[in-house]
Amino acid sequence: MRGWMIGMAVVGLCVAGVSNAQITYIDDHFESGTPEGWTLYGGARVANGFLFNDPYSPPSGEKWGVGQDAWGGTVDGGLFKSFYDHYLPNEVKYFTALVEAYSVDWGFNPTPGHVNIRIGKGPGLLTNPDDPSIVWSDWYWGPWAYLTIQQPCLEGWETVFVDWFAPWATGPMVAKVDNVVVWQTPEPASLLLLALGLPLLRRRR
């Protein structure tokens, strides 16, 4: 009886606090001036200054980010990071990144779509952005904006990517990313299952 009362109390707390039940797996801002556990590939680098935005100043007000710029040539690179998803299965996970991809011709007229950036997530310890299991957002060109994808929760390792590409130079161009966050907000039903399981565990003991 006492165990049941404790369980019901936890149920009440879970339902009341569901809006604060966010589980955060990655929350990286690169303000240390380091990759913060990310693997960079291609021409990606951590910096506090890039073309079109030097010193580095995204709308978040932060001073460091990851990106690649070129005064001609190509832009091809990105970064990835793996994390272990140990939470309830059959839930939804969100991946958000603040990004910019911008290009101009040699007369400094904007060239939409010439350099693009995207975010993606795949199962397992991935290292190749061409892996067919990765689910990607649409390609983005434009000023600072948040890209978000939503994917089912998977038990085990997952890998998130930020990837950019421009095949040839029409002029100066840049791709950048900051404020990369992976989080999950459990549904109330999942919290109830957790809470209702407590009195059962107590009885077995």
For the domain that residue 137 is a member of, what is the CATH number? 2.60.120.260
Rounded distance between C-alpha atoms, residue 99 and residue 67, angstroms: 9
Say yes or no: 1 and 44 in one domain.
no
Strand extents, DSSP E, 72-131: 75-85, 92-103, 116-123
Closest CA to 66 of 81, 54, 82, 50: 50
Q: What is the pLDDT of residue 20?
A: 53
Do 165 and 200 lie in one domain? The reply is no
Q: Are residues 62 and 83 in the same domain?
A: yes
Distance (Å, rounded) from C-alpha 87 to C-alpha 96? 19
Whether residues 138 and 71 fall in one domain = yes
First to last CA, the chain: 14
**29, 6: one domain:** no
Whether 205 and 173 map to the same domain: the answer is no
Let me know whether 102 and 114 are in one domain: yes
Whether 33 and 16 share a structural domain = no
Q: Which residues have a Cβ under 8 Å from the Cβ of 3 and sit 6 or more positions away?
A: 198, 199, 202, 203
- 65 within 8 A of 45, measured Cβ to Cβ: no
Whether residues 168 and 205 share a domain: the answer is no
Cα 178 to Cα 129: distance, rounded to the nearest angstrom: 19
Domain that holds residue 191: 1-21+186-205
pLDDT of amino acid 91: 87
Taking the whole predicted model, whether its pTM rises above 0.75 is answered as: yes
Residues 17, 90: one domain?
no
Average pLDDT, consecutive stretches of 10 residues, N- to C-terminus, the chain (205 residues): 42 42 92 96 96 90 95 93 86 94 94 95 95 97 96 90 91 96 75 45 38
Contact residues for 34 (Cβ-Cβ < 8 A; gap 6+): 46
Indicate whether 32 and 80 sit together in one domain.
yes
What is the total count of domains within the chain?
2
179 and 87 part of one domain:
yes
Distances 121 to 36, 43, 125, 126 between C-alpha atoms, Å: 18, 21, 11, 9
Q: What are the helix (H) ranges across the chain? A: 2-16, 188-204
| Cα gap 205→201, rounded to integer Å | 6
For tokens 């801002």, what's the residue?
A: 29
